[in-house]
Amino acid sequence: MSKGEGKRSSKKCLAYVAAFVVFQTAIILVFALTVMKVKSPKVRFNAMAVESFSSNNNNSTSINMRLLAQVTIKNTNFGHFKYQNSTLSILYNGVPVGEVIVPRGRASARKTKKFNISVDVSSEGLSGNDMNSGVLRLSSRGKVSGKVHLMKVIKRNKSGEMKCDWSINLATRQVEDLKCN
């Protein structure tokens, strides 16, 4: 073996090592930009129904009802989302008429956690126009906060906000036009 062959093989080995390092750097960069990007979960009402309803139409109109709803927390991350107790509010014309506590829990990686809740809604002094129109417009607002855990090492604080609007047909006692953003 001559000196020229030894230099050539060491240069060849060095080129292979450099190519391997560049390849590994590219893989890590792609992994960091796609998998490690943490997104906020999506919180929504998936389905709603009126369980009970009563109204008093004297001088001031009041309602009492119980709503059953399915809440979904969609986690699109590659790590699980652990969230704390949160409050979702039911609003009529921006005024809270009901609240429900979302118990702390965990949404698995790339899964949607579904659970059912019931909320009591009661209000005094509703507009007679709304009651006479036969449609009661309600909305919900809330925020679910927690941490996304990636590979049991990386933890990022994230929160999902809920904003849903719907109507209740007073004649049929059905929830209509449920839209969540």
Domain that holds residue 114: 42-180
The whole-number average pLDDT for the span 91-105 is 94
CB contact set of 63 (below 8 Å; sequence gap of 6+) = 53, 54, 55, 56, 121, 122, 123, 126, 136
Q: Is the pLDDT of residue 168 over 90?
A: yes
Provide the CATH number for the domain around residue 91. Answer: 2.60.40
Same domain, 23 and 110: no
Same domain, 62 and 17: no
pLDDT of residue 101: 95
Same domain, 91 and 174: yes
Same domain, 123 and 57: yes
Same domain, 49 and 14: no
Q: Is the pLDDT of residue 106 over 80?
A: yes
Same domain, 11 and 51: no
123-167 pLDDT, tens digit per residue, is 876 666 777 788 999 999 999 999 999 888 889 999 999 999 999
Say how many CA atoms lie within 13 Å of 34 toward its Cβ.
6
Same domain, 5 and 69: no
Domain count, the chain: 2
pLDDT of residue 127: 65
Q: Report the chain's mean pLDDT, rounded to a whole number.
A: 90
The whole-number average pLDDT for the span 10-14 is 92
Same domain, 118 and 62: yes
Same domain, 88 and 147: yes
Same domain, 26 and 47: no
56-74 pLDDT, tens digit per residue, is 766 557 889 999 999 999 9
Same domain, 75 and 158: yes
Q: Is the pLDDT of residue 104 over 90?
A: yes
pLDDT of residue 4: 63
